[in-house]
Structure 1
Amino acid sequence: MVIRSLFKVILCHGQESSAGLDPLYCDLNLSINPHRTFKMSSRNPVLINSTISSSSNSNHGPSNDIASFKKVLSSSTRVLALCGAGLGASSGLDTFRGSGGMWRNHRAQSLATLDAFRRDPGLVWLFYSYRRHKALAAEPNKGHFALAELARRMRKGREEGFVCLTQNVDGLAQRAGHPEGSLKLLHGCLYDIKCANPICNYRERNNFNDPYHPSLAITSEDDEKLLPAANKIRAVATYLDPNKSTTAINKDELPHCPNCITSLLRPDIVWFGEALPGDTIDEIDQWIDKAPIDLILVVGTTAQVYPAAGYVDIARNAGARVAVINMDREGLGSAGGLGKDDWLFVGDAGTILEEILSPQSSVRRRRSEKGYQGVA
C-alpha cells in the first residue's frame, strides 16, 4: 500500500511543530545530519509538521495560464486534490498559520496535541469550541462548490475519477454537497466527538450543538451570532474571542463520556503525533493503486504537514502534473518544486477554483479582476 510504505520514514529539517510528537507514536532520531528522521512505529502514519523547503525543479517556472490548465483538466481521467486551511480562509475562517497562528497567546498548533489536552483539557476544549462556533457561522465558498461539482462531473458509474483529500475539519465541503465517496477526511471533523480513553469506543457523529456542552457556553460583545445564555450557566462567561483571556474551566465541568462515565470526551480530531484514520488511508491507497494520476490540485496549503503532504510527492513521482492554488507563493513545502509543465495560481482559493474548474467560465477575463498574479 502506497502511503504505508512511503511514510515509514519521513525526512524534514528545521524545527518540528511546537506541538511536539507523542512518543507513543513516533521514534525521533536526531543525528549530526541536519535532517531529522521520523520512523513510524504505529500501524498508521502520524500527523507531524515539517518545514521542508523546496526549490524549483526546472529553470522554467510554472504557468498561470488558465486555458492550458483547463485543457489538461478536461483530458484528465483521474484527478487528486489536497486541500488545506487556505480554502476555509475564503469563508472567513482562521488558518492559524504564520503570524496569525496565535489563539489567546498560545500557538494554535501547540493546542492540537494529546499532551496539551492532558495538561489543560479546558483550554483545548475552549479552542475547539471557538473553532466549532466559527465554522458553524461560516458558509461554503465558491471553491467548495466547484470541487463538489468536479467530483460529480468526473464520476463514471461507481468509479471516482476525482478524489479530494482534505486536511480541513470545518465541515464546509460536506455542506457544499461534496459527494461522500470522493471526499476523504484526513484529520477528522469538528462536529465529531469521542471518548479520550482509547479503550472506550464511544463516538458521536455530526453533533452541531453550539455550544457542545454547557461548560463551553459562549458570549462576546464582539459577535452578534454568539449565544447569549452563557451568563445564566456560568458566573464568569466563557469568551471565545481569541484575543480575550478566560477563567480556567474545572475538569469536572467538562463533558464526560456517557459510556465509561469517568473519562473526558474530546474532539474527534487527529492531533499532532496521532495516527491518521486507517480505513481512510486504505481507501486512498486503493484508489491511487488503480491507475496513474493525471493531475493533482494543491489548494490552500503549503504542504508541510505530513503525512498528507506526501500525497503531492506520490502523484508527482507517478508523472502527475501539479497545480497549486495558494494565497502566496512563499514556503510551499512539498507543493513547491514546480516546473514548466505545472501551474501556480496565486490569490483567493475560492475565487480561483470557481474560475479554473468550471468548464463554462471564460478564460478571457483579465486576471487582475480575479485577483491573479503572474508567476516569474
Structure 2
Amino acid sequence: MLDQTPSKTRPAAAPSDHPALPRPKVGILLANLGTPDGTDYWSMRRYLGEFLSDKRVIDYPSWKWQPILQLIVLSKRPFSSGEAYRSIWNEEADESPLMTITKAQIAKIRTQVHEAFGDAVMVDFCMRYGNPSTASKVREMVAAGCEKILFFPLYPQYAGATTATANDQFFRALMDEKWQPATRTVPPYFENPLYIDALAASIERKYAELEMRPDILLCSYHGLPKRYLMEGDPYHCQCQKTTRLLKERLGWDDTQIMTTFQSKFGPEEWLKPYTVEEVARQAKAGNKRIAVCAPAFSADCIETLEEINEEIRESFEEAGGEDFTYVPCLNDDDAHITALTSVIADNLAGWLVPQTA
C-alpha cells in the first residue's frame, strides 16, 4: 500500500481545462524474489511457471526448455513445492513467511525514511514473481506523482538471476509509462559495514543462547550454475567476500566459518561446496555441532525455513550430527532496517536532502 493519496494541483499558468497533477514525490520501491498466492496446485504452477521461465534463471533455449518445463516439471513440482510451502505457511495471515516479513520490513523502513526525508517520499515493495507485481507498483507510484523512483533489489550480493532480473522487470514496467520517472537502481550492498555488523550481531546473539558453541558456522548462499561464474557473474566472489568480512568482524579464524551453496536445480554443476553435502561431511569428520546462516537472503523464505531448517538439517543428523542451529535471516531486525535505510539514503543523494533535526 502506498503511504497516502497525494493532493493534486493544476500547474501554474495552466489553462482551466488542464488536468490536476499530484504533488511530485520520490518513490522508493524495494523488490524481493516473490511468493505464490497459495499452496494449491494452480497457485504453485503459476508461480513456478513464471519463475522457471525467466531466462536469467534458466537460460536454456526456449525450444528445448519449455516442453520440459510445461510437460514434466510443472506437472509434478507444484505438488512437492506446495507441500514444502504448507510446512511453513503463515496460516493466520494466509501468506508465505516472505510476504509477512517483507511487510514488516517495509513498515519499519517507511517510518525511518519519513523521519529522515518527510512526506516527500513514498515507500512500497514489489515481487519479481507473483504479487504484488513490479509493473503494478510502478504504475501506482507514477500515478501518485513519483517523478523519480529508486529501485532497490533486496539482495546483498549481485547475481544475474536475482538482482539483474529484478532490474529487468523494473525497466520493462517503465516501458509502459507515457511519462517515465527518472530512475536509479541500488547496487549490491554486501560490503556495507552496517549490513556486516547486523549480520555479525545476529550470529553473536544466537551463539549466546546456546549451551555449547557450534564447531563451525556454514554461510549458505543460494546457488548458481558454475557456468554463470565462468561467464562473468560476480556472485561467487561477492559471497566469498561477505564471509571473509563477517569472519573479520567476528574475530574468528578460518576453521570456524566457511562458504557453501544450496538450492541446486537441474543436471549442471553448480557452485560448490553444496550445503546439503557439506553438513554431512562435517558430521562424519567429527564436527557434531554446526550452525548455518543465510547471508544472501534478506528475509526468511522457503529456501531457509524449509530447505535449511528441514532438508539440510536432516542430512546433517542422518550423517551423525547432533546439534544443528539455524541462525535466522536479518528480517525486520532493527539493525538490519537501519542498514537498509542507510543504503537508501546514500542512493538518494542529489535527489533529496535529509531534514535537519
TM-score of the superposed pair, with normalisation by structure 2: 0.28
Which protein, 1 or 2, shows the higher relative CO under an 8 Å CA cutoff with sep ≥ 6?
1
Q: Larger % of helix: which?
A: 2
